[in-house]
Amino acid sequence: MTNEGSILIVDDEVQIRRLLEITLSANGYKISEASTGKDGLLLAASLNPVLIILDLGLPDSDGLEILKKLREWYQKPVIILSVRNSEDDIVKALDYGANDYLTKPFRTGELLARIRVAIRQSQVIQDKPTLEFGSLSIDLANHTARKNNELIKLTSTEFSLLALLAKNEGRVLTHQYILKEVWGMGYVEQTQYLRVFIAQLRKKVEDDPAKPKLLNTESGIGYRFGS
């Protein structure tokens, strides 16, 4: 199929669509465009694109509703690209199943990086026994991590946290999601646990804990591994 590797852009602003079309085409992606939520859903169903870039402020419907409908059947990455920049909106979009969120204005370089990460993640089969990030290697099967080939002492909670973030490399995980996954449903409000453990993890895995490269903070939203 010719459109197998295409990216669907759902945005009502012609100028943004044109900018994305130019940028993405130049980077070897095939592009299809929709200016309304309805058209977006139709095109997504008929083309089954590898990734969808979705605007939240669409003329006919709210982007979040479109995302919800998409997620009923569409498994591949969705990146939200919107002028809405409140933490609430972002967290909600991520909870609804968006893989990433970028606010306008955005840097095209950043967008391309996120697209790459998202596509790669969706294609990688997640049962790799070890994950490698530069000098850090995480052995998922044995629940161990090594830095510069030296074993790092990690508590089980620390390892679970590190493993969760590492498996979702490049993707923003919200505080609530992490707390639920690592500590359990009853702890989704206990952000201070998370802060403490992230700070401890940084001391153990980062080259310079003051300038973290692996455990990145997304202000008011959550954490993103690597990238």
Kindly state whether residue 185 participates in binding other proteins, applying the rule CB under 8 A.
no
By CB atoms closer than 10 A (0-12, 13-18, 19+), residue 49 is: buried
Query: Residues 75-94: x/- map of binding to other proteins (CB under 8 A)?
Result: ------------x-------
Distance CA 221, CA 86 (A): 10
Kindly state whether residue 193 participates in binding other proteins, applying the rule CB under 8 A.
yes
- Shortest Å distance, C-beta 199 to other proteins: 5
Q: How many residues in the shown chain lie near other proteins by CB under 8 A? A: 20
3 versus 112: smaller Cβ distance to other proteins = 112
Of the candidate residues 157, 176, 180, 181, the single one contacting other proteins (CB under 8 A):
157
Kindly state whether residue 15 participates in binding other proteins, applying the rule CB under 8 A.
no
**Three-point CA angle 1, 31, 119, nearest 5°:** 80
Amino acid at 178: I
Distance CA 198, CA 214 (A): 11
45 versus 199: smaller Cβ distance to other proteins = 199
Kindly state whether residue 220 participates in binding other proteins, applying the rule CB under 8 A.
yes
3 versus 160: smaller Cβ distance to other proteins = 160
Report yes or no: 67 and 89 within 8 Å, Cβ to Cβ.
no
Instruction: Locate 125 and state its tokens.
Output: 């089969």
Report yes or no: 73 and 30 within 8 Å, Cβ to Cβ.
no
Of the candidate residues 217, 222, 226, 227, the single one contacting other proteins (CB under 8 A):
217
Distance CA 93, CA 77 (A): 13
Report yes or no: 55 and 10 within 8 Å, Cβ to Cβ.
yes
**Three-point CA angle 89, 95, 96, nearest 5°:** 90
Kindly state whether residue 96 participates in binding other proteins, applying the rule CB under 8 A.
no
Kindly state whether residue 200 participates in binding other proteins, applying the rule CB under 8 A.
yes
Kindly state whether residue 219 participates in binding other proteins, applying the rule CB under 8 A.
yes
- Shortest Å distance, C-beta 180 to other proteins: 16
- Interacting residue ranges for other proteins, rule: CB under 8 A: 87, 105, 155, 157, 191-193, 195-200, 209-212, 217, 219-220
